[in-house]
Amino acid sequence: MNFALFEEMSKELIFTFVTRSRYIRVSTKEVVVRQGDQPKMVYFIRSGRFKVVKEIQIPTEQPLKRPEFYDQTRLHKPLDFEATHKTKFLELDELDSGDVFCHCNVIDKTIMDHSVISSLPSELYAIPASDFLMLCKDLLHDFKRYNKPYPEVEKV
């Protein structure tokens, strides 16, 4: 297994990761972390493939039905429109062996702005957020370098 982040870590720190992490197997199309959730773990992909997906709401306009009494009132108002939204799922990225996810959300204590879903049967190592945050600040900064920025909803 090759995680570039671990190449410069001390053996003691790697041992801490190994002893505090959990091995997780996921099946195809399994949601590991959902958009809008606060992640409780940091995930390291051992094998498999995952899709990074963002749910977006696209406004649409559809005419309302005329009420039955509309013709009886003889009002000549323009037909009203109601704004509705259509949900779309936008695939932002694919992650595979050696990638890490949820680390920046755990460090910054922010909710997920995307979901991560397995596209193949896959294997992960997960370390609880509290254990991950016990790392020294320099190491946490190194993890943030591996962040993949994804676009905001407004920019999609």
Per-residue model confidence as pLDDT tens digits over 19-29: 888 999 999 99
Relative to beta strand 49-63, strand 22-26 is unpaired
Per-residue model confidence as pLDDT tens digits over 42-94: 999 999 999 999 998 887 766 545 555 545 444 445 545 455 677 888 999 99
Nearest Cα to Cα of residue 48 among 69, 66, 32: 32
Q: What CATH number has the domain bearing residue 112? A: 2.60.120.10
Band of residue 155 on the pLDDT scale cut at 50, 70, 90:
low
Percent of the chain with pLDDT over 90: 42
Domain for residue 114, yes or no? Answer: yes
Domain for residue 48, yes or no? Answer: yes
Structure confidence at residue 131 (pLDDT): 85
Query: Own/partner pairs for 139-146, CB < 8 Å, 24+ apart?
Result: 139/9, 139/13, 140/107, 142/5, 142/8, 143/5, 143/100, 143/103, 143/104, 143/107, 144/103, 144/104, 144/107, 146/4, 146/5, 146/100, 146/103
What is the sign of the dihedral through the CA atoms of 93, 96, 100 and 101? positive
> Taking CA 33 as the corner, what is the angle to CA 31 and CA 35, rounded to the nearest 5 degrees?
105
Structure confidence at residue 145 (pLDDT): 63
Domain for residue 105, yes or no? Answer: yes
Domain for residue 94, yes or no? Answer: yes
Structure confidence at residue 140 (pLDDT): 63
Which residue range forms the structural domain that includes residue 114?
A: 23-61+83-148
Domain for residue 18, yes or no? Answer: no
Domain for residue 122, yes or no? Answer: yes
* Count of structural domains within the chain: 1
Structure confidence at residue 73 (pLDDT): 47
CA 80 – CA 37 distance, rounded (Å): 36
Average pLDDT of the chain is: 79
pLDDT at 139 over 80: no
Domain for residue 45, yes or no? Answer: yes
Structure confidence at residue 52 (pLDDT): 95
Domain for residue 75, yes or no? Answer: no
- Dihedral angle of Cα 33, 48, 18, 108, to the nearest 10 degrees: -30
